[in-house]
Structure 1
Amino acid sequence: MSAAQDESRKRNKRRYLAGQQSKRWKGTRQLEVGMRGILITCNMDEKKCMAEALNLLNEYADKVYGPEQQDDNGSSSSEEEDIDAALKKEVAQIQAAGAKQERRFQALDSGANNIIFIRTQNLEPDKLVHHILSDLHSTKKKKSRVILRMLPVSGTCRAYQDDIVKYLTTFLEPWFGKPNCATYQIRFKARNSSHNKRDDVIALIAGIVDQLNPKNKVNFNDPQLTIIVEVIKTVCCFGVVRDYNLYRKYNVQEIIKENAPKPDATAKVDEKPTEQEHKSETNQEEKKGEEQSSKTVQQDCEDGDKGEDGGE
């Protein structure tokens, strides 16, 4: 075999294997009920966003949890090895690795445009994202170009009210169940889904939080906790995060700006749809929050607030 033919077959091999690797995260894998991870919004370029997100998450996960242990797939096989045998060997290794071991981060189809879902394994997405934002907030280093927001998803359920009530009654207990109490706000967004109205879902969740502990108190200006609700098609994603307002609604572009003004002052320029939605949502939530939490606003939650403020 000539050197040119040998080089051509090696090129074909690399392209084939690259295609197999791509199918591992593309294919039919998508956001489903029962998953945990991180929703990442971007501006049009989803492919570049995925690459940036995986690089950023792996960089910080290596610092927090240590390097990920991976099996050697034998990609540096000897030059003398038969190319067909090498192909079969690597395909078998890829299939075996996928069957017995899930990667720490896996990019999946979110079901919505301009947003990707990174599934996580063996780590807490809320703590990792908070660590990333805390570092970016203090260092002001720009580490991405197309990533906008990083929203941790600590739990998912079917996007129907009966399922939401059943799931959140248990899910929210560690943060809002007695003896714990906290000031909070609810941020809701629906994508490719029209069967859940914002006001209805917010009122439903506020009622659950009130039942868990009447001392929980709505606060839009400086809440200790923010309940993030993201509905995509028939999946409802939940996260409970700290410093949501401080870290600019978890926007990695805004958080690195020096002497950045309050979110309401800059979102008009950089996130028009989000800010307009935020104003409308805030007004609606304030009215609903006053109705749903008339009893809780009168309760004294000072002691609980101090306990929750310790944070990360």
Structure 2
Amino acid sequence: MNNKRKGKKQYYAKQQKKFKQDDQNGAVINLTENLNGFLITCNNNEFRCLKEAYNILNDTAERIYGTYSNGEASESNVNDVDIEASIKAELDGLKSSKVRRFIQAKTKCNNILFIRSNDENIEPDRMVRSIFDYVKNSGESNCRFIQRFIPVCGTFKAIESDKFVPQFSELFSKFASKEDQTFSVIAKVRNNSTFNSQTKLKETVILTILKERPNWKVDHNKPKIMVLVNIVQRAGCISILENFIELSKYNLVEYGEAVKKLEKPINENASDVKAPSDTQIEIENEPDIMKTIPNQLSSET
């Protein structure tokens, strides 16, 4: 028994040492602007959560996109390139972080992880949909430490609040549907003193969306689209999510439990899955922002 525990400790010590080496070699970067990927929350056990996330992402990407190749290896003309230099370059390439399909970007916030991809083909929305579809079809979430698994379509610098609107507008316009939609907004601020009011941030996001998409309507009860804005230290993450309530607020464990409670066959459409009855959108019990928005819009036109 003691040998088994010792073996586990040695394994995790080696893994932690590897992640530290990756950090020192530049494989792990801090969360910053111009990234897309996955924002993952957990309740302590960040290291095990990260390990679970890597396993899920690699398995899903393999299933959707096939085996990953970073595209750096190429045939060389032996007449033009020194053979020894070519071999050294290949070995350096194998050691590079770019060989890995997914890599962490440090958030410096407890229980908040961000994973980016070196693979340009990766579409975070498609990946997360496939992950939840797998849970729906298999009835298993395949995780213990991951809570929310949220695709992020883009990030921006969250240092100056006056620059937030143009940055958000650019990303939102690029990824949001132009079709008629109902929407709601959830905004979270963590370890950032610039955005000291989540309610004010939420109001700004709603106003900006209504200007960019005049055909969208606010619906806090049953929105088709949930817009998440997560300010994490100096970076802001934007997510445009469908089926937010049906997917248990993108909580993998809760969604897996909801699937198990269903009496319907598990191979039906994911849209048939209902979240637990106590699931509610977090914005509902907050101050009614929309009472002040029409006046603001009229004064600005």
Measure how far apart 1:174 and its partner are: 4.4
Q: Give the 3-state SS of the residue equivalent to 2:256 in structure 1.
A: coil
For the residues of structure 2 that align with 1:61 and 1:251, how far apart are their CA atoms? 20
Tell me the residue number matched to 1:133: 132
Q: Give the 3-state SS of the residue equivalent to 1:255 in structure 2.
A: helix
Match among 260, 281, 284 for residue 282 of structure 1: 284
Tell me the residue number matched to 1:153: 152
Structure 2: gaps of 5 or more residues:
1-12, 74-86, 263-273
Q: Give the 3-state SS of the residue equivalent to 1:57 in structure 2.
A: helix
Q: Within 5 Å, give how 1:1-312 maps onto structure 2.
A: 19=17, 22-25=20-23, 29-69=29-69, 95-97=92-94, 101=98, 103-120=100-117, 121-122=119-120, 123-159=122-158, 160-174=160-174, 176=176, 179-196=178-195, 197-257=197-257, 258-259=260-261, 262-263=275-276, 265=278, 279=282, 281-284=283-286, 287-292=288-293
Query: How many residues in Structure 1 have an aligned counterpart in Structure 2?
Result: 253
Counterparts in 2 of 1:254 and 1:231: CA distance versus 1, 3 Å: same
For the residues of structure 2 that align with 1:259 and 1:293, how far apart are their CA atoms? 42
Q: Give the 3-state SS of the residue equivalent to 2:221 in structure 1.
A: coil
For the residues of structure 2 that align with 1:295 and 1:195, how far apart are their CA atoms? 23
Please tell me whether the aligned partners of residues 255 and 275 of structure 2 are also in contact (alpha carbons under 8 angstroms). no
Q: Which amino acid aligns with 1:165?
A: V
Q: TM-score, normalised by structure 2?
A: 0.73
Counterparts in 2 of 1:29 and 1:50: CA distance versus 1, 3 Å: same
Measure how far apart 1:206 and its partner are: 0.8
Q: Deviations over 1:176-218 (max 9, x none)?
A: 57x5331111111111123211111111111111112322111
For the residues of structure 2 that align with 1:220 and 1:127, how far apart are their CA atoms? 25
Over the matched positions of the two proteins, sequence identity in percent amounts to: 24
Q: Give the 3-state SS of the residue equivalent to 1:284 in structure 2.
A: coil
Please tell me whether the aligned partners of residues 245 and 263 of structure 1 are also in contact (alpha carbons under 8 angstroms). no
Q: Which amino acid aligns with 1:283?
A: N
Measure how far apart 1:254 and its partner are: 0.3
Which segment is superposed worse, 22-31 or 240-249? Answer: 22-31
For the residues of structure 2 that align with 1:241 and 1:94, how far apart are their CA atoms? 41
For the residues of structure 2 that align with 1:256 and 1:16, how far apart are their CA atoms? 31
Q: Which amino acid aligns with 1:255?
A: Y
CA RMSD of aligned residues (A): 3.4
Q: Deviations over 1:248-295 (max 9, x none)?
A: 110000001123774562x6xxxxxxx8xx65x42226x103432689
Counterparts in 2 of 1:33 and 1:102: CA distance versus 1, 3 Å: farther
For the residues of structure 2 that align with 1:17 and 1:42, how far apart are their CA atoms? 19
Measure how far apart 1:127 and its partner are: 1.7
Q: Which amino acid aligns with 1:143?
A: N
Bigger radius of gyration:
1
Q: Which amino acid aligns with 2:60?
A: Y
Which segment is superposed worse, 252-261 or 227-236? Answer: 252-261
For the residues of structure 2 that align with 1:152 and 1:25, how far apart are their CA atoms? 23
Q: TM-score, normalised by structure 1?
A: 0.70
For the residues of structure 2 that align with 1:206 and 1:283, how far apart are their CA atoms? 16
Q: Give the 3-state SS of the residue equivalent to 1:200 in structure 2.
A: helix
Counterparts in 2 of 1:163 and 1:50: CA distance versus 1, 3 Å: same
Please tell me whether the aligned partners of residues 39 and 150 of structure 2 are also in contact (alpha carbons under 8 angstroms). yes
Please tell me whether the aligned partners of residues 151 and 250 of structure 1 are also in contact (alpha carbons under 8 angstroms). yes
Q: Deviations over 1:207-239 (max 9, x none)?
A: 111112322111122211111111111111111
